[in-house]
Amino acid sequence: MKSNGLIVISKKEFRDHIKSKKFLIIFSIIMIATITGMVGGAVDYNKQIQNYAEQMAVSEDTSMFSSYWWTKPSVMTIFNNVGTIVASLGAILGIAMGFDLITREKESKSLKILLSHPIYRDEVINGKAIGGTFALILALIITFVISMALLLIFSIVPDITEVQYILLFGISAFLMIFSYFAISLFMSTVAENSGNALIYTLIIFIVLTGLFPMLISGSIITVLAGDAPEPPDTLIMRSYSTAYVSASVTVSDSGEISEKSESDPYDTEEWRNYEEESMKYWQKRQAISDFFNLLSPTNNFQYISSYLTYPQMYKNMYISNSIFVEDGADEPEKTSIFDVLGDLMKNIIALIAFPIVFFGLAYVKFMRMDVR
Amino acid sequence: MIEIKNLVKEYNGIRAVDNLCLNIDGGEIYGLLGPNGAGKSTTILMLTGLIMPTSGECLIDGTEVSKNPIEVKKKIGYMPEDVGFYSNLSAYENLEYFARLYGIPEKELQDRTDELLKQVGLYGVEKTVGGYSKGMRQRLGIAKAQLNDPSIIILDEPTANLDPQGVADYRSIIKQIAKLDKTVLVSSHILSEISKVSTKIGILQKGRLIREGTWEELSSDIENKDLPEIRINVETKVPMPQFNHPEIISADYKNDDKTAAIVAKSDIRDEISGILYKNNVILKNLSLDATTLEDAILTYYSEEVPEL
Ligand SMILES: Nc1ncnc2c1ncn2[C@@H]1O[C@H](COP(=O)(O)OP(=O)(O)OP(=O)(O)O)[C@@H](O)[C@H]1O
Ligand SMILES: [Mg+2]
């Protein structure tokens, strides 16, 4: 027999959030940033579309080059425009919503009186999570509706794939913000007061958004992955760069990829060994960088946002990473949502795992907390 | 009915509550008296299921608290010491929230809340609790403790921050509650707060119950002891004569000599009543000052904690 505590607490928490000044202020800033970002993005997008239409009209002859560069611009470019702002402001919103949820109860001495009611302790922490979730969902729905209205004002009508992309973008934004909410809620159960909870959360936020990108781009990754394998002595550096990067991946007009191996001189045992080792090395490097990316909800969200904007580009990058994809693998014009989900699976799982882990920690800590 | 059996609570190996046994019958107003750190709040927290005992058990109407805290919490109205509420909500909104947690039906909720707010003098106060004084919060706490119409009310230091009017209000509330045949447990380190309303008093010292009894029993304990100073209050219908007794250290006459506060070396109440009788002065009140008694009881017992 459960008590009715969960519903009552969730409702109160939800109401507290949407009435709180910090929530309203940060949400307003996000709204303003989104609207300005989207208006700018929409204007650019309409220009690009116009250019694209002109280009299509002019060059009916379909050279590979032109079709590669003149793919129809995606509506997602508009969203990607606001992605960076959403990433940082959203994280702040999540932090602001969570960091004092438990410490404030301790500070105002209301926790003891709350727990003296016929409710289970987990209903308190779950209710806080649910209330926060609904407040976030409400904020995102409002943002989504306004975004859609803006698109329509600029007479941009996204097609079904684009709508799916936009939804995925929104869900990722939610998960990213929710991750920071979970981190700060956890800190609120650990810290002795709200001030400390906020400091701890900000430290984690800075590590996740500032330190990890540094690790990814910096020399630290080289330390972790080791040095790149040396090309065979017999070959000169110039050939190394052209051959290795296999820059000759192109998408033909029909969407086919062809890879031209330009070189007989490289067709030696030694070279193939090197090529293989090199591949392994760069894959390892990529894996390390991907791993760090997954650990940061912000980076993860930004990756998803960019991917959704330029799925073809990411697909190609992916292919060039694994050189041994068969020639002429099909590359459809529009990457379907399932392909996208397949590619982004790791990122999405990480974004889901993050809040689950931190919420789990907060739960365990809260259940054991001394009420005095 | 409250039963506490061999209750122990240790913090880092130190016993805050030490093998406590206590029974409180239904309808009783029990005063738990003890100096700071005696273990009053710790005992109450275990009774209300907010902390787990190290060993021993608490039974509320036969239900063991640590085994079935939810059932017990439904029966108890509790006001913690240093009580706090949601500072962004008004008194009404706070009680409304708690009433919902108790599952009080929405249609009864408003009447119940209004009635209690009237009782503690907070009805119609619109401002949020964040702007309340400590005393106002405590009044709200007393209202909150009755919200679920509990059969057992537990108040931890309910008068700690109340002004004289607040204390008087509190006493009349307790008397009203007593008429409803509820069991009340009140803790305090001030004897006078407890003595006036309690049907029974337990003295807690270093986590142990060292003496239990009615107010009369406890005061008779020390009546014949040598105490450094005794304060006696005298009240008469007509002006009284100035006392002249070797035991009197000082005497302060007020109210046209109809009241006097006398400080004496010993309890000379019999002598005083004799003098008044000889002078044909009708006596209204002749009592030992409660603060004196409280000091006396506490010093008396703190010196004589029996080793178990
Ligand atoms: N969380 C804790 N950790 C360690 N010791 C504690 C803790 N809580 C209470 N104590 C100790 O337990 C003892 C009893 O404390 P308690 O609060 O029950 O006393 P009290 O009788 O309510 O005193 P007061 O009149 O000051 O409220 C004290 O010595 C206190 O230091
Ligand atoms: Mg106490």
Candidates A12, A20, A118; nearest CB to B70: A118
Pocket test of ligand 1: the residue of B4, B7, B11 to mutate, having most ligand atoms within 8 Å of its CB, is B11
DSSP 8-state assignment for residue A330: B
Report residue A190's pLDDT band, with 50, 70 and 90 as the boundaries: very high
Report residue A21's pLDDT band, with 50, 70 and 90 as the boundaries.
very high
Least reliable range by pLDDT among A19-23, A336-340, A346-350, B285-289 = A336-340
Residues 124-153 of chain A with CB under 8 A from chain B are none
Length of chain A: 372
| Residue B9 Cβ < 6 Å to ligand 1 | no
Are residues B45 and A372, on separate chains, in Cβ contact within 8 Å?
A: yes
- For residues A197-212, average pLDDT: 89
Nearest CA to ligand 1 atom 3: B11
Per-residue pLDDT reduced to its tens digit, A287-317: 777 787 888 898 889 888 888 887 766 665 5
Nearest to A116 among B50, B88, B100 (CB): B50
Ligand 1 centre to CA of A366 (Å) is 22
Specify which of A15-19, A53-57, A285-289, B272-276 reaches the highest per-range mean pLDDT. A15-19
Query: Which of B83, B84, B103 minimises the CB distance to A4?
Result: B103
More confident residue, B289 or A171: A171
Give, as one character, the DSSP assignment of residue A142. Answer: H
pLDDT at A250 over 60: no
CA nearest to A28, candidates A130, A131, A142, A168: A142
C-beta atoms of A117 and B102 within 8 A: yes
Residue B42 near ligand 1, beta carbon < 6 Å: yes
Question: Any idea what DSSP says for residue B27?
Answer: T
Compute and round to an integer the Cα radius of gyration of chain A: 25
Q: Report d(CA A321, CA A284) in Å as an integer.
A: 11
Provide the terminal-to-terminal Cα distance of chain A, rounded to the nearest Å. Answer: 28
Sign of CA dihedral B179, B180, B185, B188: negative
CA of A87 to the centre of ligand 2 (A): 47
How far is ligand 2, taken at its centre, from the CA of residue B40, in Å?
Answer: 5
A122 to chain B, any CB pair closer than 8 A? The answer is no
Residue B52: count other Cβ atoms within 10 Å of its Cβ.
Answer: 12
What stretches of B38-90 show up as alpha helix (H) in DSSP?
A: 40-47, 69-75
Strand ranges (E), B142-279: 152-156, 183-188, 200-205, 208-213, 230-236, 248-254, 259-264
Interacting residues of A250 by C-beta distance below 8 A, sequence separation 6+: A64, A68, A257, A258
- Which positions ≥6 away from A109 have C-beta within 8 Å? B80, B82, B83, B84
Alpha helices, DSSP H, located in A75-159: 76-98, 103-107, 110-115, 121-153
Looking at every residue in chain A, the average pLDDT score rounds to 80
Residue pLDDT, tens place only, B81-115? 989 999 999 999 999 999 999 999 999 999 999 99
**pLDDT, tens digit, for every residue of A42-55?**
888 888 888 888 87
Q: Are strands B29-33 and B183-188 parallel, antiparallel or unpaired?
A: parallel
H or E segment to which residue B270 belongs? helix B269-278
Whether A118 and B101 lie within 8 Å, measured CB to CB: yes
B122-138: buried (b, 16+ CB within 10 Å) or exposed (e) per residue?
A: beebeebbeebeebbbb
CB A74 within 8 A of CB A173: no
Pick the CATH number of B229-289 from 1.10.155, 3.30.70, 2.40.30, 3.40.50: 3.30.70
- Taking a C-beta distance cutoff of 8 angstroms, is the pair B142, B79 a contact? yes
**The two three-digit tokens of residue A143, written as one number:** 């943002």
* Nearest residue on chain B to A19, alpha-carbon basis: B88
* Contact call for A110 and B85, based on CB within 8 A: yes
At A236, is the pLDDT very low, low, confident or very high (cuts 50, 70, 90)? low
More confident residue, A41 or B104: B104
Compute CA B132 distance to the chain's CA centroid, rounded to the nearest angstrom: 23
What is the pLDDT confidence band of residue A331, given thresholds at 50, 70 and 90? very low
Amino acid identity of residue B220, one-letter, is S
pLDDT class of A253 with cuts at 50, 70, 90: low
| pLDDT at position A117 | 96
Please tell me the total number of residues recorded for chain B in this structure. Answer: 308
Angle between helix axes A311-321 and A269-295 (nearest 10 degrees) is: 140
Whose tokens are 């987990």? That residue is A122
Going by pLDDT thresholds of 50, 70 and 90, the confidence category of residue B302 is low
DSSP string, A174-243: HHHHHHHHHHHHHHHHHSSSHHHHHHHHHHHHHIIIIIHHHHHHSTHHHHHH-PPPPPPTTS-HHHHHHH
Q: Let me know: does A336 contact A285? Beta carbons within 8 Å.
A: no
Residue of A nearest to B42 (CA): A372
Q: What is the average pLDDT value for chain B, to the nearest integer? A: 88
Domain boundaries, chain B: 2-219, 229-289
Contact criterion met (CB below 8 Å) for A323 and A246: yes
Mean local confidence (pLDDT), A212-223: 71
Q: What Å distances lie between residue A87 and A91, A296, A300, A320, CA to CA? A: 6, 11, 10, 29
Per-residue pLDDT at A66 exceeds 70: no
With an 8 Å Cβ cutoff, the interface of chain B facing chain A consists of 45, 48-51, 70-71, 73-74, 76, 78-80, 82-88, 97-98, 100-103, 141, 144
- Contact predicate A186/A172, CB 8 Å: no
Say whether domain B2-219 belongs to CATH 1.20.1070.10. Answer: no
A–B CB contacts, 8 A cutoff, strictly below = 68
Segment among A50-59, A199-208, B151-160 with least mean pLDDT: A50-59
ipTM of the modeled complex: 0.79
State what percent of residues in chain B have pLDDT above 70: 91
The CA-based angle B148-B153-B159, given to 5 degrees, is 115
Distances (CA, A) of B305 to B39, B203, B207: 15, 11, 11
A368 in contact with B at a CB cutoff of 8 Å? no
Residue with CA closest to ligand 1 atom 7: B11
Q: Are B90 and B128 in contact (CB under 8 A)?
A: yes
With CB atoms and an 8 Å threshold, state whether B84 touches A371.
no
